[in-house]
A = this chain, B = another copy of it.
Amino acid sequence: MSEKLNELKEKLGEVSDLGSAAALLGWDQQVNMPSGGAEARGRHMATLGKVIQEKFTSDEVGRLLEDTKQELSGADADSDDAAMVRVAARNYDKAKRVPTEFVVEQAIVSAKAFEAWIEARSKSDFSIFRPHLEKVVELVHQYVSFFPPADHPYDILLDDYEPGMKTSDVKAIFEPLRTKQVKLIKAISSRKQVKDDFLHKNYNEKKLWDFGVDIVTKYGYDWTRGRQDKAPHPFEQSMSVNDVRITTRYEKDNPIALIFSSMHEAGHAMYEQGINPAYERTSLANGTSLAVHESQSRMWENLVGRSLPFWEHFFPKFKKTFPSQLDGVSLKSFYKAINKVEPSLIRVNADEATYNLHVMLRLELEIAMVEGSVAIKDLPELWNTKMQEYLGIIPPNDSMGVLQDVHWSGGAIGYFSTYALGNLVSAQLWEKINKDVKNLDDQICRGDFSQLLGWLRTNIHQHGHKYDPQVLVEKVTGSRITSEPYVRYLTKKYSEIYGL
């Protein structure tokens, strides 16, 4: 390895170390920090962020990137070093385009917008949030202006989360999907609804927690390189490939969501735990995109965790753990209940059949905001119109409508689509896995997930950020991201459950 490459790796390694420190500060803020610590923590994170930005965008890093790119231009483009430099150079170019003052202004505007959103949601009064959202969108326009013109301004935003993906790609994927999902939901709604009252009884939190731990341990989540804590909103956080933590929560009115959150976050975490350890401290040491990340979490939560084979294995023990709650409930009834389809107002609680429609709705509004084709003041009404159109229900107030998600308050515009893309990728991978791994259902029935995890390790996890998402998906499945496997998956699953 050349001296310059070594030097570059050391510089970027330090940036990565500081990023890991920042990650821990964020994790602690959600999990442990006493309320009094919030203000100081904000400052600590701002200072650390500034140092990271300074170190990463230094002229020295720029020169080393240029030099190593040249050095590697003749080398194997598929080598780890080439990928590392390519990804780092792309991130560097983006970071350089955005002035530090802008980053600071955006942080301030977001902080205020977040406060306003909290109040607006609690009072269900969009007018409180509106001026802040206008400012947020103004900054988004400014952000876009730092980059060379793209086919669509939304491309710039999307690219930060889904490298290489275009707005037109997403639209082309979602257009046919929406029609099919709406049709599926209509078909389901004409059938007899499944019973799920037994899921909403009183379930002991500690017992659910232990059951979730048991499941993700069987999945292959490595506790010597992770831990699980409680947090208001479940999330996964990686401090290094050897320290990847998950969180979950107990909701009184939806208790068993606790174990599905554990499965979901463990899906994210096993991805990070499976990255080639040689990538540690480089630009390759994370999942390649939000969509591919979400494909992992949704696979372990839904394709595995809400499948019949899975519960064939776990239901007897689950019933033993909660005998009174599940008295007289058969495996089949339980399976149907955890897969109940019901158009609902809140995305995070939506079932597999309706979830993507929530996402598409937001994507359409985001694109309209970025294009300037909708005035911010008209968002609540547009939201409700689309809810009626896609899901057949209208929110009784804006708290349960346009104000329900935190994302826009934080200036995070551009990544909603990755939630739905993740579902699609999960099904795409699933079809391929079931070709490669014989009798996967039988293995799952036995509580054996080792071949499944092994396949994911080999085909997805180890590569980290080496391949762009579309490249990786095509490399593994033979096709770029497409909705067909997911539609096949949904149709088959719900045809059986609802007798379509």
Residue A14, interface by CB 8 Å:
yes
Given A24-B25, A24-B28, A224:B17 Cβ within 8 A: no
Q: Given that A40-B280, A239-B40 are contacting pairs, would A223 and B34 also be in contact in the complex, using a CB cutoff of 8 Å?
A: yes
Interface positions, chain A 195-248, Cβ under 8 Å from B, are 222-227, 239-243, 245
Count of A residues near B, CB < 8 Å? 41
Interface string of A28-54 (1 = CB under 8 A from B): 100011111101110110111011000
Please state if B47 and A242 are interface contacts (CB–CB under 8 Å): no
With A24-B25, A43-B17 known as contacts, the answer to whether A224 contacts B280 (CB < 8 A) is no
B225 touches A37 (CB 8 A): yes
Note all chain B residues with C-beta closer than 8 A to A34: 223-227, 242-243, 245
Q: Is A36's CB under 8 angstroms from B281's CB?
A: no
In the bound complex, residues from chain B placing their C-beta under 8 Å from that of A18 are 44, 47-48, 51
Q: Please give the count of copies of this chain that the complex contains.
A: 2
Partner of A242, one of B36, B50, B243: B36
Q: Is A20 on the interface with B (CB-CB < 8 A)?
A: yes
Across-interface contacts of A24 in B (CB, < 8 A):
24-25, 28, 44
Contact A240 B40 (CB under 8 A): yes
Knowing A21-B25, A44-B21, A281-B43, say if A36 contacts B224 (CB, 8 Å): yes
Q: Given known contacts A21-B21, A24-B25, A25-B24, is B43 in contact with A243 (CB within 8 Å)?
A: no
For the complex, what is the distance from the CA of A25 to the CA of B23, rounded to whole Å? 10
- Measured CB to CB, the residues of A under 8 A from B are 13-14, 17-18, 20-22, 24-25, 28, 32-37, 39-41, 43-44, 46-48, 50-51, 55, 222-227, 239-243, 245, 280-281
Beyond the given pairs A24-B24, A41-B239, A51-B51, 5 more chain A to chain B contacts, judged by CB atoms under 8 angstroms and listed by A's residue number, are: A17-B43, A21-B21, A21-B22, A33-B243, A36-B225
Q: Which 3 A-B pairs have the closest CB atoms?
A: A37-B243, A40-B240, A36-B225
